[in-house]
A = this chain, B = another copy of it.
Amino acid sequence: MTPTVGVIGGGQLARMMIPPAVALGIDLRVLAESAGESAGLAVTSIGDFRDLPTVLEFARGVDVVTFDHEHVPQDVLAGLVDAGIRVSPRPEALLYAQDKLLMRERLAALGLPVPDWAPIRSRDDLAAFLAANGGRAVLKTPRGGYDGKGVRVIGSVDDAADWLADGAVLLAEELVEFRRELAQLVARRSSGETVLWPVVESIQRDGVCAEVIAPAPRSAGRIADLAADIAVSIATNLDVTGVLAVELFETSDDRLVINELAMRPHNTGHWTIDGSTTSQFEQHLRAVLDLPLGATGTREPWSVMVNVLGGPGSGALPDRYPLALEDQPTVKFHSYGKASRPGRKVGHVTATGDELDEVVYRARAASEFFRA
């Protein structure tokens, strides 16, 4: 029997599941919103993931449905479950990746370290939160944000006037003073088996992940242990199956505080394709099929991933290959096969090696060829 996985969403995360699906002999089927998406090669249906009949039709005959993004509405997920289709992660878990307010409530109730936070239903709520937090806060729309969208740093109630006028409940969080951002990836299958990759450092630019260093420098010991404990606790308590990414702040006073969750392969895990024995994409497929998980050791002491973003004058990655591949024969290049638009993630590069400085240099040098 060929294991069959249905992925809702045709972006680069679904695309990067294709190579391990080919290797393992898994039938990967993708529901995309339109033709020509990044995961086009594996697309078997095109339609609206918010439409239950479309999703049910797509899911017919698959062993399990999983996701390229967390935007599938809960009523569609419930419809899949009602139809007897296995969904991984389960809707009850995915909810906490979909709604940041529920996530904060749940993690706080579990005693896990989160920033100070409050639900904001009015100008008064927000004024009170600002007053209690030195006049500044991070304000988030609980649903639909990604890559810095739906997130705003505010210094007054008026900074949030438009969002408050929308009437939706917002999430206010303290502006955490952090030294750096970390991410801990964990994979878990329904049997309960969990495996962890090393905690990584994630360098953001304009709210978007720019670089990832694996493992996070100077993380061995306490930081790595803390990050692992937090991720395993979330995965277990929320009964997450598949890959879970926990974005963390390492605070100026040496604590780890949970920033965001993603229940799918994540940008901070792209380095695993070239840097770990088992990539996050292979692991996600194994986990959602409830197959034994692969080893997560590093292939070399350091891996550095740099995202390639579209620029005003940039074309497709392959246009620059004649120069880039010549200059960096050891770097691995990943193109997402997407039209280039300013700021859009269109690919990434990964370098691995023994000396961090040198690995960072090679990864950045390779990425520079794709700057517009």
Name A residues whose Cβ lies closer than 8 Å to a Cβ of B: 1-3, 15-16, 18-19, 22-26, 41-42, 273, 277-278, 286, 291-295, 297, 299-300, 316-319, 321-322, 325-326, 329-330, 332-337, 347
Contacts and interface: CB of A to CB of B under 8 A. Distances in A.
B19 A318 contact: no
Nearest to A193: B326
Nearest to A274: B277
Contacts of A318: 1-3, 24-26
> What copy number does this chain have within its complex?
2
Nearest to A17: B22
B291 A321 contact: yes
Contacts of A329: 278, 292-295
Contacts of A337: 2, 22, 25
B291 A322 contact: yes
Contacts of A277: 330, 332
Nearest to A323: B292
A19 B16 CA distance: 9
Nearest to A294: B329
Contacts of A25: 316-318, 335-337, 347
Contacts of A300: 299
Contact of A23 (B291, B292, B332): B332
Nearest to A332: B23
Rank and list the top 7 A-B pairs by shortest CB-CB distance, nearest first: A25-B335, A19-B19, A292-B326, A292-B325, A295-B330, A295-B329, A25-B337
Contact of A19 (B18, B42, B295, B330): B18
Nearest to A277: B330
